[in-house]
Chains A and B, each alone.
Chain A
Amino acid sequence: SQQGEEDPQALSIQEGENATMNCSYKTSINNLQWYRQNSGRGLVHLILIRSNEREKHSGRLRVTLDTSKKSSSLLITASRAADTASYFCATGGGADGLTFGKGTHLIIQP
């Protein structure tokens, strides 16, 4: 099954800095999604990028997709303490739902 793997596993930055995390996957995709999970909570959908798109923006989020390298990146600009969470990429979209990576744990230091 398709699977994303995020890199790095953990990232700690100062508030106000930009945070970049990456996702690699194994097979061809129709789209790729990013989700956020606050500690002990459910996941929240952030953004979806389709295979024919190279870049997408949503507020302080910027997602890129390189299908030739089978990789995606999520950039969070001007980070805030509230951005502290785990971030997951997900692929799939068929009847059996999505396949998630292990996530990047992001810590924003005040």
Chain B
Amino acid sequence: DGGITQSPKYLFRKEGQNVTLSCEQNLNHDAMYWYRQDPGQGLRLIYYSQIVNDFQKGDIAEGYSVSREKKESFPLTVTSAQKNPTAFYLCASTGQSGANVLTFGAGSRLTVL
């Protein structure tokens, strides 16, 4: 079955550590996105990528980095520069231009101890 796989589902890290969240899709989608969700809040865009080897900052990119070396993969690194990294992170993709109906992964919950 096609879909988006995010890993790990739960992650704990100490302050000052970088962590990388994985996002893999087998939908043959060109565009991929990373969103952050805080409790009781909507989704905020961190980074997005329309094609391989190209990505753009979203609304809250500070303290995060991404790469897009393969069409299927769009990993997100939460760096130590991110001041409040504890959150639920969602990866999404779309193969449709214009309407942008998104397919989401199950999410990764990061907790900083």
Contact = CB atoms under 8 A, between A and B. Distances in A.
Nearest to A96: B48
B50 A42 contact: no
User: B interface, how many residues as a size bin?
Assistant: 20 to 34
B40 interface: yes
User: A interface, how many residues as a size bin?
Assistant: 20 to 34
A102 interface: yes
A93 B48 CA distance: 13
B104 A97 contact: no
Nearest to B88: A40
A98 interface: yes
Contacts of B107: 40-42
A45 B50 CA distance: 20
A1 B100 contact: no
Contact of B48 (A35, A88, A97): A97
Given A97-B94, A101-B42, A102-B42, 19 more contacts: A30-B98, A40-B107, A41-B107, A42-B6, A42-B106, A44-B104, A45-B101, A45-B102, A45-B103, A88-B42, A90-B102, A93-B98, A93-B100, A95-B56, A96-B56, A97-B33, A97-B48, A98-B100, A103-B42
15 contacts: A1-B59, A31-B99, A35-B102, A43-B102, A48-B99, A48-B101, A88-B43, A90-B102, A92-B100, A93-B98, A93-B99, A95-B48, A98-B100, A100-B35, A100-B42
